[in-house]
Amino acid sequence: MLLFDIVFNGNDTMYAEACEAVDAAIAKFGEEKAVGFPDTAYTLACYYAETGNKITNLKEAKEALTYIKTLMTRNRRLHDGFMSGVATALSAELIEAMKYIDGAKPYEEPYLGHMTDAQIRELGVPLVTGDIPGIAVIINAAPTVEEACALVKSYQSQGNFVCLVGGIIEQLKEANYKTGFNVRVFPIGENISSVAHAVSAACRTAMIFGNITPGDKAALQEYTFNRFRAFVNAFAPLDEKTVACGAGAIYYGFPVVTNDMDYTPSVPKSLIKQPNIEDFNATSIEARDIKIKITNVDIPVAFASAFEGEIIRRGDMQVEFDGSRVDCAELVHTVEAAEIEDHKITVVGPEVDDMELGSKNNIAYVVKVAGRNMQADFEPVIERKFHNYINCIEGVYHTGQRDMQRIRISKDAFAAGFKIKHIGEVLYSQVKNEFDAVVDKCEVVIYTDPAECTRVRHEIAIPTFEKRDARLATLTDESVDVYYSCILCQAFSPSHVCVVTPERLGLCGAVSWLDAKATKELDPEGPCQIITKERVIDEELGAYEDVNEAVQKYSRGALEKVTLYSIMQDPMTSCGCFECICGIEPFSNGVVIANREYTGMTPLGMTFPEMASMTGGGVQTPGFMGHGKHFIGSKKFMKAEGGIERIVWMPKELKETVADRLNATAKELYGIDNFTDMVGDETIAEDPETLVAYLTEKGHPALGLDPMM
Amino acid sequence: MPFNQKPQKFNAKIQSVTIGTGDKTMTLGGENVLPFYTFDGEIENAPKVGVEISDMAAETFAPSIKAYYGEGASMADMAKKAAAMEGADFVALYLEGGDPNGADKPVDELIAVVKEVADAIDCPLVVEGCKNVEKDSELLNKVAEALQGRNVLVMSAKEENYKNVGASVGLAYKQIVGAESAVDINLAKQLNVVTTQLGVAPENIVMNVGTAAVGYGYEYVVSTMDRIRGAALSQNDTMLQMPIITPVASETWGTKEASASEEDMPEWGPAEDRGINMEIMTAAADLVSGSNAVILRHPQSVKTIAKMIKELV
């Protein structure tokens, strides 16, 4: 038999039962008899939400049956199937309502039946906050009592709310399993019609928390689909009425997972056949896109930021791992969801107990993540947090990154029972919590076997890092479609806006284009927003209408326009967090750069703080500009005025820091070797005359350029 | 040359939010001119003055304020006397005793206080939590539940707990949500955006954009309110058009200018005068910077600020 026919038959049966129940009630009480569930203002909630009409007496119940009949069209189309599902739920609600007439209490422990409005409100708040990640509706008896208990337990331990219908309730009772609203296991009723109480909960949540106007079918469906994270687990054998209810569930966006293999076809993300009961949980959570909150980190020592600065000295150390001596690595790896199992933590190689006291060992951990919004560009952003995560473990210390990390585990932590696998627990829980916007599933593999570590480092980690570096190197302002704004500093510099591009990172040095992109994804309403770059005004200056509109908007009108590549014309503003300031040096036609750490005098006759007073606070001062250290080697560095060949002076320490990149850029742009040798520093000159003499001697290219003003 | 007045007209206005029920309601906001710029346009709803009482008043309130309520006043007595204060538009109940780092009173005990106060008065009511984010998540949920149908303003949802507080106060029990941020226009806006995304209607949100006592970094408060009002009116930023309420008393009465005794600081004059002055100065500055309501404690301050508003609007 076709699935359509099963749904239609099930719907017909449920409807016939509803007609019978209503007629019987009318015969007994008369048409004027009041109808309704106790302690609710939304009577009858499913019908009210769907149609906008309340059913308050038996006469209206009878009229409702006429309406329900109109939904029961019989074309073999998806719409007919869904509407028949809705009709089944509405019929079931009427059947249930008849049981409550005259203040009757049709359900007795352990059955609970109708949920009150107060319970819906209590349930709704944690549902909105995600403290209740999902709602499982389990129908029929599981193959065994043990499997029934295990499944309910699995949902409960994740914080889900569980509704039960049919045989599984008896099974839990047999096992003495504690049920009730307060433990989030809610046995509704024995018959399938009682599932209407679960649908009623969904409809009332939509009306109370979603402000859905009763009768607005589209809004109701959208709300239940997107916000009421319910799903159905239905055990074999499924009768026709249950299948018809399932069609209704799918219409509202609740996927159905069943071990009844007789029904074909399965529909991805909607009707899923899963023969293994132990996989029901994972299949359901994934199908409904439920994010489980992790509230505690399961490790034997404390985990808190208070331990971040803790140092483990050699004498207090149980074992260490040292990437500078042996093969180590730490890596985030994006994979397909099907390839990994959430929260699986594997240790390949010896545990801490097997390692000698005070020994130096290998370690390589690969955190595999999957998620619909995950992008490979976020891998380094996540990876950079590992240092912080591992350091927050009491008695564990971490420095370095990539394949150069060093970890120590203290004797105290070891004595408390800390194991390698607990590093996996920490990484798992923190990545899932902090990056839940992009990471849906996460699995951790930790290698301590030396041969495996060598393999992971050389065959996986290093090629990945090289690929990333290559991507960063090829990431140019021209190669991307959008830039990002950053207004993180507006709290103290209200009119400043950073425009972050691949070749011009935020002036604080802390926000690269990739960071800004990740920030936007993780915190959509946060400080970094997309700036398009479609309407070019002047490519050379880096002037765009889009960029100007964005700075106007984000500075709330304080700034009219900025250019990305000029220090003279509408230079980008600064908050005050700049790593460096570059200022025009008129005698040499060049610019002087001072970094924050530099305390001495510059050839401009100004110290860094004096230059800072000209530059900060979101004001535009042509000739002065704040920027990050990394920007100095960029091909876009004041490109409009000729680029890096204008740099005539930098503090020695800064010069050494940026030398490699700066020299490479100078070579590429102008064919100059060892450009930094031509650039002055405080050991050469602190006044303009001596500086110009030095530049002349070295043949610095700036001297031959046009004056900047 | 004759003076030629050019009214500054905005095509945007501050959202009106009504608090309370029956004929004793008050409406905050609704204006489309800068604070007190009545020469530019009519200010429909004058700023409001609230009187703060606390479950810890006996321990924490200044002697001069305690004297007004009398020794051993019950919460109901305090509420009635606060509502009866000259110039008072509403009562603000501060559940200070809930703070886990202070008296750490259980939620049930505080809810009993809330009910006692709510039953004693029929003027608009504002309930302020204990300011501990975790405790407030639970406490404010119960407050909203206990006061169903009273249409009270519950303060505050913050960045850390806006989901809990917003969902219970704004959605489950349909009260007015106070959205509190710390003196930063962007954070204020972001909180409003995410709270409305949760489903809370903009007309059910009142902002507390952060405050300080005058002299205590107060210029940040002025600048933040100024910019928020500017963005709301001149840029028609709907996510910053919620009215602003500013709890003044809890800031000013804690400063040394208000609390140092006359014995310790004879050259400063009577402590009571100093406390009143701090409260009045701060409240006046908040109002001209853009607050639609202030929360005060001393009868003299309430009377003075109410008079100032009356004269200017």
A556 with B230: Cβ contact below 8 A: yes
The domain that holds B269 is classified in CATH as 3.20.20.20
- Do A241 and A144 fall into the same domain? yes
- Do A147 and A205 fall into the same domain? yes
| Cβ–Cβ under 8 Å, residues A303 and A396 | no
Query: Is there a domain that residue B35 lies in?
Result: no
- Do A178 and A86 fall into the same domain? no
The domain that holds A537 is classified in CATH as 3.40.1470.10
pLDDT in tens, A550-581: 999 898 888 899 999 999 999 999 888 888 99
Contacts of A211 in chain B (CB under 8 A): 171, 199, 201
| Closest CA of chain B from A281, distance in Å | 26
Flag whether pLDDT at A400 surpasses 90.
Answer: no
| Closest CA of chain B from A487, distance in Å | 8
Indicate the pLDDT class of residue A402, thresholds 50, 70 and 90: confident
| Closest CA of chain B from A211, distance in Å | 7
A490 with B234: Cβ contact below 8 A: no
pLDDT in tens, B225-234: 999 999 999 8
Copy the structure tokens of residue A181. Answer: 């609203």
Q: How far apart are CA A627 and CA A591, in angstroms?
A: 13
- Do A130 and A92 fall into the same domain? no
| Cβ–Cβ under 8 Å, residues A225 and A251 | no
Flag whether pLDDT at B13 surpasses 80.
Answer: yes
Query: Is there a domain that residue B159 lies in?
Result: yes
Domain count, chain B: 1
Indicate the pLDDT class of residue A266, thresholds 50, 70 and 90: confident
Flag whether pLDDT at B9 surpasses 90.
Answer: no
Query: Is there a domain that residue B3 lies in?
Result: no
B164 with A130: Cβ contact below 8 A: no
A524 touches chain B (CB under 8 A): no
Work out the average pLDDT over B125-149. Answer: 96
Give pLDDT, residue A615: 86
A291 exposure class (CB count in 10 Å sphere: 0-12, 13-18, 19+): middle
- Do A420 and A513 fall into the same domain? no
| Helix boundaries (H) for chain B | 57-60, 63-69, 75-83, 107-120, 133-146, 162-165, 185-198, 218-234, 249-252, 256-259, 271-289, 299-312
Give pLDDT, residue A264: 63
Q: How far apart are CA A460 and CA A334, in angstroms?
A: 13
- Do A256 and A352 fall into the same domain? no
- Do A258 and A130 fall into the same domain? yes
- Do A321 and A401 fall into the same domain? yes
> DSSP E strands: which ranges in A222-381?
230-234, 256-258, 271-273, 317-322, 328-334, 345-348, 359-361, 363-370
Mean pLDDT, chain A, whole residue set: 92
Q: Write down the pTM of the prediction.
A: 0.78
Dihedral sign of CA atoms A177, A178, A183, A184 in order:
positive
Domain that holds residue A10: 3-103
Contacts of B240 in chain A (CB under 8 A): none
Query: Is there a domain that residue B7 lies in?
Result: no
Give pLDDT, residue A507: 84
Query: Is there a domain that residue B76 lies in?
Result: yes
- Do A255 and A369 fall into the same domain? no
| Domain termination residue (choose one: A287, A321, A336) | A287
Residues 28-67 of B with CB under 8 A from A: none
Q: What percent of chain A has pLDDT over 90?
A: 76
Contacts of B199 in chain A (CB under 8 A): 128, 209-211
Amino acid, single-letter form, for residue A202: A
B269 touches chain A (CB under 8 A): no
Query: Is there a domain that residue B242 lies in?
Result: yes
> Which of A121, A487, A556 has its CB closest to that of B173?
A121
Contacts of A208 in chain B (CB under 8 A): 171-172
Q: Which residue of chain A is at minimal alpha-carbon distance from B221?
A: A491
Give pLDDT, residue A671: 93
Query: Is there a domain that residue A236 lies in?
Result: yes
Residues 281-300 of B with CB under 8 A from A: none
The domain that holds A49 is classified in CATH as 1.10.8.190
| Domain termination residue (choose one: A43, A69, A103) | A103
Query: Is there a domain that residue A296 lies in?
Result: no
- β partners of residue A594: A581
Q: How far apart are CA A456 and CA A402, in angstroms?
A: 12
- β partners of residue A442: A369
| Cβ–Cβ under 8 Å, residues A476 and A417 | no
Domain that holds residue B184: 42-312
A125 with B223: Cβ contact below 8 A: no
- Do A462 and A323 fall into the same domain? yes
Count of Cβ atoms closer than 10 Å to residue B18 Cβ: 17
The region of weakest confidence among A259-273, A347-361, B262-276, B298-312 is A259-273
Flag whether pLDDT at A68 surpasses 90.
Answer: yes
- Do A462 and A490 fall into the same domain? no
Work out the average pLDDT over B182-193. Answer: 91
pLDDT in tens, A418-446: 999 999 999 999 999 889 889 999 999 99
> Which of B172, B223, B234 has its CB closest to that of A125?
B172
With a CB cutoff of 8 Å and minimum separation 6, the contacts of A5 are A76
> Which of A125, A487, A491 has its CB closest to that of B167?
A125
- Do A313 and A382 fall into the same domain? yes
Work out the average pLDDT over A250-264. Answer: 89
| Closest CA of chain B from A488, distance in Å | 9
Domain count, chain A: 4
Residue contacts between A and B (CB atoms, under 8 Å):
57
Indicate the pLDDT class of residue B1, thresholds 50, 70 and 90: confident
A209 touches chain B (CB under 8 A): yes
B172 with A121: Cβ contact below 8 A: yes
Query: Is there a domain that residue B135 lies in?
Result: yes
Residues 148-187 of B with CB under 8 A from A: 163-164, 166-168, 171-173, 183-187
Q: Which residue of chain B is at minimal alpha-carbon distance from A205?
A: B172
The domain that holds A341 is classified in CATH as 3.30.1650.10
A494 with B183: Cβ contact below 8 A: no
Query: Is there a domain that residue B8 lies in?
Result: no
| Domain termination residue (choose one: A103, A135, A160) | A103
Query: Is there a domain that residue A444 lies in?
Result: yes
The domain that holds A269 is classified in CATH as 3.40.50.2030
With a CB cutoff of 8 Å and minimum separation 6, the contacts of A247 are A7, A11, A81, A82, A84, A85, A88
- β partners of residue A591: A584, A647
A628 touches chain B (CB under 8 A): no
pLDDT in tens, B81-103: 999 999 999 999 999 999 999 99
Indicate the pLDDT class of residue A701, thresholds 50, 70 and 90: very high
